[in-house]
Structure 1
Amino acid sequence: MTEAPNPAHMTQDPIAGLEGVVAATTSLSDVDGQNGILILRGKKIEDLAGLVSFEEAVMHLWQDLDVAKVSSMVAAFGQARLAAFEVVPLLEAAPPTLSVYERMQLGLAALPLSEALPAPIAISGALPVFLAASHRIAHGKEPIAPDETLGCAKDLLRMLTGEVPPKTHADALNRYLVTILDHGLNASTFTARVIGSTQADMRQAILGAMGALSGPLHGGAPGPVLDMIDAIGAPENAEDWITATLARKERLMGFGHRIYRTRDPRADVLKSGLRQLGQENPKVKLAEDIEREALAALKKAKPDRTLDTNVEFYTAVLLDAIGIDRSLFTPLFATGRTPGWCGHVLEQQQNGKLIRPASQYVGPMPE
């Protein structure tokens, strides 16, 4: 039996989208949209991404949570990848109509959980395996077994391509995965916390978060950035293309953010990663030209609004530069965000409070 909401604590005017409503306390991340600052467990994102591995960042995020008490997160995630590969035959037998993302959800739903590995490690370690295997299955290729001795980023690229990636590519993917590890109480993270608050198991909470992420208003922007870059084609086309797009009242993909009222700090972290890959990829220079023209055009067209580069813009260029197909951008985002989701579920369950907001009835009354 659930407890009825206390009328004394109810507001009369619901806030659309819960904008600005504080619904949880967390030690995991803080998003300062006014000043363009993202903090992960006491450190700015630029002091982590590009400087530590994905595993080290996860250990940092999970500190003070029981799950972090392992001697080596690389070894723990490696063990989790091996366990997850046992589920891959189920993915191969699934209907061919399933997308990579849906196949990943199927693998997670079927993933055995045991006391041998804490659930957050088992789940976080499994998703790279399900992503790579699902992509290869979709292209008629045999899935590749994980190498438990490698770091997550390096092994993910190896499982996708069949070849050990260059260090620069593994470093770039590590940078991206750290950048997206956690980002406040967004829609998918809030979904995970709501499900976790019911004391449902971790797997159900992450499946729910993946469902929320699949919506185009949450997780779908990086792919269209590449579509925009392809459509522009060359630096000399950028100004006219952008001007025409804004004249049609269409959105420029990769610019503006619901939270940030200045530049998204993750954009600069990823842009720095691109510079370390070199300038051989022509899309890198083209992207910088497009960014310059887009920011100038947005400032002219919308002088009353601050619309700056967001994380999706350089996410698209960085991932494309290391050979990640644009169809994998959302699955890869889910893979990098999963440890953050898990951390929020653990926090919520330690709190022990069921999330149960009230609603305001606006329907007809009985006669």
Structure 2
Amino acid sequence: MIQKGLKGIVAAETFISHIDGENGKLFYRGYDIKEMAKNFSFEEAAYLLWFGHLPNPSQLAALKKDLKGNRELPDYVKGILHQLPRDMELMSVIRTAISAEGGNLDYGWKPSVAQAIRLTALVPTIIAYRKSQLDRKVFVSPRDDLDHVENYLYMLSGKVPTPAHLEALETYMILTLEHGMNASTFSARVTASTESELVSAITSAIGTMKGPLHGGAPLGVIELLDEIALVGDPEMVIRGKVLRGEKLMGFGHRVYKTHDPRAIALKAKLMDHIGVDEWLDLAMSVEDTAIRVLAELKPGRSLYTNVEYYAAAIMKAINMDAELFTPTFTASRMVGWTAHVLEQAENNTIYRPQSKYIGTFK
């Protein structure tokens, strides 16, 4: 039997993460994602995925130092960014810049954690540098006294983010570090299985993430919240969309047959900031109404909020341009991609699936 898209086919064994779609569970190295988002920082979660265990204070300090020490873009990469067309999509810009980075250092086989850290540190700077170019503004250089997510927001805006905005985005980025054998992760592992270097594997992943069926930005959720804010009646808007047969963006997930654990974890973190930001408040108030209407009009479908729903609210709250949504997702997923490439390299077999010929013979 042909399984189109390899749906349901187990292609690898992994220690990195586990998704239980039936029960709405996600684990990083055996740790429940809800506990990770509640109790740990981006750097701690990244260390867990790369090294297989949580860091002690000295190990965490060393990782933070390495991330900070790799934020600066090489001059030749900056030069390349200035040569790219202004209308080039940002995901393509990131892919090109990372590919160029591969020509500067020895990224040969086998990949290393040090290489993973460097690429992860560079992506936020690439995004912020390109954004400053497009806006015709002076680039805000990274600050060594700010951690990974805080520095990313600082480079984008020139201002240190508020605690509420920082906590919201850091939680989102922790929750999207890794998500099993998705299309982009599989792409990275396939490239790595040929013993190509880490940069090539990551550019494969970025190219895959760029596709709208995988890394598409949650623009539909933004539009939904905008419409509800304008009309002022969440139930009327939601009921109207469902009755017209429109897809309610931000609800339902291909893998999770119940609540998306990432959405639950993100909401729990945002509950600490009720009353601080109007868009976060609106998202939380709309969710209950939407789930109730969906249960009434689409019984048995188990349609609940997914991580994109609250991601959209966070992006709106921190005034992040829509063009930065998927790149920001990419900045977090760098950790998961590189962890999978490192794992692939430790017990490598080249991927070579078969295909079934359905043409005619002459």
TM-score with structure 2 setting the length: 0.91
CA distance in 2, matches of 1:21, 1:148: 44
| Per-residue deviation, residues 115-150 of structure 1 (Å, max 9, x unmatched) | 898221111111010011111211111222222342
Cα gap change, 1:160 to 1:79, in 2 (>3 Å): same
Equivalent in 218, 241, 244 of residue 245 of structure 1? 241
Are the counterparts in 2 of residues 270 and 318 from structure 1 also a CA contact under 8 Å? no
Q: CA deviation at 1:245?
A: 1.4
CA distance in 1, matches of 2:344, 2:303: 34
Are the counterparts in 2 of residues 74 and 150 from structure 1 also a CA contact under 8 Å? no
**Structure 1 residue 171 and structure 2 residue 163: aligned?**
no
- Percent identity, please: 37
Whichever residue aligns with residue 333 of structure 1, its letter is F
Are the counterparts in 1 of residues 26 and 261 from structure 2 also a CA contact under 8 Å? yes
Are the counterparts in 2 of residues 238 and 293 from structure 1 also a CA contact under 8 Å? yes
Q: Where does residue 257 of structure 2 map in the other structure?
A: 261
Are the counterparts in 2 of residues 113 and 122 from structure 1 also a CA contact under 8 Å? no
Q: How does 1:136-285 map to 2 (within 5 A)?
A: 136-233=132-229, 236-285=232-281
Are the counterparts in 2 of residues 50 and 174 from structure 1 also a CA contact under 8 Å? no
Q: Where does residue 54 of structure 1 map in the other structure?
A: 42
Whichever residue aligns with residue 171 of structure 1, its letter is E
Q: How does 1:29-48 map to 2 (within 5 A)?
A: 29-48=17-36
Cα gap change, 1:46 to 1:322, in 2 (>3 Å): same
Q: Partner of 2:27: helix, strand, or coil?
A: strand
Equivalent in 69, 89, 97 of residue 99 of structure 1? 89
| Per-residue deviation, residues 261-310 of structure 1 (Å, max 9, x unmatched) | 00001102111232233423222232223212211121122212111110
Q: Where does residue 297 of structure 2 map in the other structure?
A: 301
Q: Where does residue 8 of structure 2 map in the other structure?
A: 20
Are the counterparts in 1 of residues 215 and 326 from structure 2 also a CA contact under 8 Å? yes
Are the counterparts in 2 of residues 129 and 156 from structure 1 also a CA contact under 8 Å? yes
Cα gap change, 1:150 to 1:205, in 2 (>3 Å): same
Cα RMSD (Å) of the superposition?
2.2
- Segments of structure 2 that go 5 or more residues without pairing to the other structure are none
CA distance in 1, matches of 2:86, 2:123: 19
Q: Where does residue 3 of structure 1 map in the other structure?
A: none
Whichever residue aligns with residue 265 of structure 1, its letter is P
Equivalent in 99, 116, 122 of residue 120 of structure 1? 116
Are the counterparts in 1 of residues 113 and 342 from structure 2 also a CA contact under 8 Å? no
Cα gap change, 1:84 to 1:147, in 2 (>3 Å): farther
Q: CA deviation at 1:15?
A: 1.0
Are the counterparts in 2 of residues 84 and 129 from structure 1 also a CA contact under 8 Å? no
**Corresponding pairs, count:** 352
Q: CA deviation at 1:61?
A: 0.9
CA distance in 2, matches of 1:171, 1:237: 29
CA distance in 2, matches of 1:304, 1:169: 36
Are the counterparts in 1 of residues 29 and 52 from structure 2 also a CA contact under 8 Å? no
Are the counterparts in 2 of residues 100 and 138 from structure 1 also a CA contact under 8 Å? no
- Segments of structure 1 that go 5 or more residues without pairing to the other structure are 1-12
Cα gap change, 1:53 to 1:348, in 2 (>3 Å): same
Cα gap change, 1:146 to 1:117, in 2 (>3 Å): farther
Are the counterparts in 1 of residues 116 and 338 from structure 2 also a CA contact under 8 Å? yes
Are the counterparts in 2 of residues 222 and 316 from structure 1 also a CA contact under 8 Å? yes
TM-score with structure 1 setting the length: 0.90
Cα gap change, 1:146 to 1:357, in 2 (>3 Å): same
Whichever residue aligns with residue 24 of structure 1, its letter is A
